[in-house]
A = this chain, B = another copy of it.
Amino acid sequence: MMSDTPIIIDALQYNNWSESIFQQMHEGGVSAVHVTICYHEDFREMVENVIAWNRHFERHSDLIFQGRCAEDVRRAHEEHRTAIFFGFQNCSPIEDDIGLVEVCYQLGVRFMQLSYNNQSLLATGCYETCDPGITRMGKQVIREMNRVGLVVDMSHSAQRSTLEAIELSERPIAITHANPHVWHPALRNKSEDVLRELAESGGMLGVSMYPHHLKNGSACTLESFCIMLARTAEVMGVERIGFGSDLCQNQPDSVVEWMRNGTWTNERDYGEGSESAAGFPDQPEWFRDNRDFVNICAGLRQVGFTQNEVKRMAGLNWLEFFEHSFRKKQT
């Protein structure tokens, strides 16, 4: 029997993982989280991150387990645990080797961004000045990701590359963590063109609670955030929206510096921050951690969403997307 509490799915987190965070997921009734296991790592370095997660799964099996398919979300919900789905924010772990796409899938990876801020071997990042679109290798890799059941994620990619990925991918893609550019004009946020094409193709947007993606940053109000969702639902439809908090809990500022700079630059890049505000920004008071999805659900009711619409955005939309996305295509 499935319990009557809503299924909550968060499509992006990158926390400094610990038992207390897993406990917060449990307290917040979060049934599934897509966690980032790579920003700049190569394949072998990524495998070490899988090993670190295997240890979490072993030590905290009362709270979490590795998710591989939609059914695992339902199981997590019934068992009051959290299914952890792996994803990459960059394509660095597949190096220049298309065969690694399936190997990563076999290790449980279910999302991969084709680029992270910069140009990659596959696509252009949102901070490049010119976006020539999906590369030759990118087209091959999208086809391979479609075949094995690894979701294309364009959260940090530039516009032309994103539109081309939506067009080229036979299976709907995701923007796991971003907000509409019209609400807050961060480079990472997405134009209405992108959101419309994404929705029409059956793709999903995970709305972000990361302060650099929010209107007025850390001071953003819950009401403003929820009205943004109402406007976005008018563009995309309620069915195409979910959560993608981009929660980076308990991370030291050295981590955001590494996320932005990896090993690619000798100068310091501040990404969405600035020299005077280089570290992680403070979370808005209505979303501090995994226990606060309940606040957002209440806020969404306040701005006029029905309980069923809230349930869809809180988890059922992502669950449906998982159902159609993660199975290997039958040849």
Contact = CB atoms under 8 A, between A and B. Distances in A.
Interface of A: 43-44, 47-48, 50-52, 54-55, 58, 61, 97, 99-100, 102-103, 106-108, 331
Given A43-B44, A331-B61, A55 B107 contact: no
B331 A47 contact: no
B51 A103 contact: yes
Contacts of A97: 51
A51 B108 contact: no
A81 B106 CA distance: 22
A43 B50 CA distance: 14
A99 B44 contact: no
Given A44-B43, A331-B58, A107 B99 contact: no
User: Which of A58, A61, A103 counts the most chain B CB atoms within 10 A?
Assistant: A103
Nearest to A98: B51
B331 A100 contact: no
Given A103-B107, A107-B107, A43 B54 contact: no
B107 A47 contact: no
A52 to B, nearest CB: 8
Contacts of A107: 103, 106-107
User: Which of A43, A54, A58 counts the most chain B CB atoms within 10 A?
Assistant: A54
Contacts of A331: 58, 61
Given A43-B44, A50-B106, A54-B103, 18 more contacts: A44-B44, A47-B100, A47-B103, A48-B99, A50-B103, A51-B100, A51-B102, A51-B103, A52-B99, A54-B99, A54-B102, A55-B99, A58-B331, A61-B331, A103-B107, A106-B106, A106-B107, A106-B108
Contacts of A48: 99
Contacts of A61: 331
Contacts of A55: 99
Contacts of A54: 99, 102-103
A331 B59 CA distance: 10
A61 B147 CA distance: 14
Contacts of A108: 106
A240 to B, nearest CB: 32
A100 B44 CA distance: 11
A208 B54 CA distance: 36
A64 to B, nearest CB: 14
A149 B47 CA distance: 19
- A-B pairs with lowest CB-CB distance, top 7: A51-B99, A54-B102, A106-B107, A47-B103, A44-B44, A50-B103, A51-B103
